[in-house]
Amino acid sequence: MQNNVRPETMQRINTIELANAFIEEQVKAVREQVGDKKVLLALSGGVDSSVVAALLIKAIGKQLVCVHVNHGLMRKGESEQVIEVFGKALDANLVYVDATDRFLDLLAGVSDPETKRKIIGAEFIKVFDEESAKLDGISFLAQGTIYPDILESIKQAEGKKAVKSHHNVGGLPEEMAMELVEPIKLLFKDEVRIVGDALGLPHNMVYRQPFPGPGLGVRCLGAITRDRLHALREADAILREEFEIAGLAGKVWQYFVAIPDIKSVGVKDDSRYEGWPAIIRAVNTTDAMTATVEEIPYPVLHKIVARITSEVDGINRVLFDLTPKPTGTIEWE
C-alpha cells in the first residue's frame, strides 16, 4: 500500500501531460494491486469519486462496480448525469439506487441540522451496505480520498474541534474490512481536476463547486418537506443557470439557494400569495474557514429574482445573503 505522506519531491500536476503521466502510473499500480479481483466504489458524482471512477474504469473496466445512491437530496440533474456519463458513455458497471423515499421518510419532522446530518450519513451507509451485500466477490473498496482529507484527519486526530460534523456521504463503516484502493489520495483538488480533464470527464463535473454530502438536506432548512425541497431544487437550478450565463460560475467559489421554513405574505395575480423566501448565497474563500460575499451585478440578481418568483411554485420573495464568514457559516445549517 502507498503511504499517506506526499513526498516533498512529488511534482505538482499542473498540465495535461503531467496528468496523463500520473494516470498511466496509477493504471499500472491499480492493475498490480487488484489483479483480477473486483473493486467497489461509492460514486456520488462529486469531483473526487468521479475521477476515481474514470481512472479505475480505464485500469480495470468492468471489474469496477460503481454504486450511486440517490438520497433524494441531489441537485437538479446530478443523478441523471452520473447515469449518462458512467452508465452510458463510459459503459461502467453501475448500480443505481433511488433511495429518495427512504431518506425523506426518515427525515420527516426532523429539524435539528446535526440530527439531519447524522440520519443522512447513517442511512447512506446502510443503503450502500445493503447494495454491496448483494454483490458477489468484491475484494477491494475504492475511495475518492484526496490529500486535504488526509491532512484534515491528522488535524482531527490532534483533537481540534469541528464546527459542524462534515460527514462526507461516502464514508464507510470500519467493519467493512476490504483493502482500500485510493489512487488520488496524494493529490490536491486542483490536481484532481486536471486529471479529470485528462480523463475526458465533462467540464461541469470536473469543475463542480463544492457540494455538501447531505446535499440539499441542509439547504431545505428545518424539517424537510417534499414540496419545499422541490422548490429549492428548481430555484437552485435557475441560480446555477443564470450564473453560467453571466460568466460567474467559474468565478464564484460556491453559490446556492437555501429555503427557510417560513412563509411571508405576498401578492400574485391580484390575490394574496403566501410563499417561502429563496435565499441566495454566493461566496468566495480559499479554505472554507472564512468567506467573503461575491458582489453580484444587480441586473443579474434582478433576472434571477424574476425567474425564481415566476417559475418556481411556492416562492414569493428572493433574498441575497450579504453576510461573510464569520459570522455566518457558508451553509445555513
Instruction: Tell me which residues touch ligand XMP (CB under 6 A).
Output: 117, 163-164, 166-168, 210, 212-214, 218, 254, 288, 325, 329-331
Cis check for the bond before 225: say yes or no (omega within 30 of 0). no
| Cβ nearer to ligand XMP, comparing 182 with 331 | 331
**C-alpha cell at position 264:** 411571508
Q: Minimum CB separation from ligand XMP for residue 165, in Å?
A: 7
| Cβ nearer to ligand XMP, comparing 6 with 325 | 325
102 exposure class (CB count in 10 Å sphere: 0-12, 13-18, 19+) = middle
Give the integer Cα–Cα distance in Å for 159 and 229: 36
| Cβ nearer to ligand XMP, comparing 30 with 259 | 259
Q: Minimum CB separation from ligand XMP for residue 290, in Å?
A: 9
Cβ-contact 291, 298 below 8 angstroms: no
Q: Minimum CB separation from ligand XMP for residue 45, in Å?
A: 13
Give the integer Cα–Cα distance in Å for 124 and 323: 32
| Cβ nearer to ligand XMP, comparing 64 with 218 | 218
| Cβ nearer to ligand XMP, comparing 18 with 249 | 249
Phi, psi of 317 (to 5 degrees): -145, 155
| Cβ nearer to ligand XMP, comparing 21 with 150 | 150
Q: Minimum CB separation from ligand XMP for residue 236, in Å?
A: 13
H/E segment holding residue 255 = strand 254-258
Give the integer Cα–Cα distance in Å for 263 and 252: 29
In the chain, the amino acid numbered 155 is: K
Please, which residues bridge with residue 93 across strands? 65
**C-alpha cell at position 214:** 447531505
The rounded Cα 20 to chain-centroid distance in angstroms is 25
Q: Minimum CB separation from ligand XMP for residue 218, in Å?
A: 6
| Cβ nearer to ligand XMP, comparing 273 with 320 | 320
**C-alpha cell at position 139:** 475484494
Q: Minimum CB separation from ligand XMP for residue 271, in Å?
A: 37
Q: Which residues of 183-210 are buried (b: 16+ CB within 10 A; e: fewer)?
A: bbbbbeeebbbbbbbbbebeeebbebee
Q: Minimum CB separation from ligand XMP for residue 71, in Å?
A: 12
Q: Minimum CB separation from ligand XMP for residue 329, in Å?
A: 3
Cβ-contact 55, 195 below 8 angstroms: yes
| Cβ nearer to ligand XMP, comparing 196 with 214 | 214
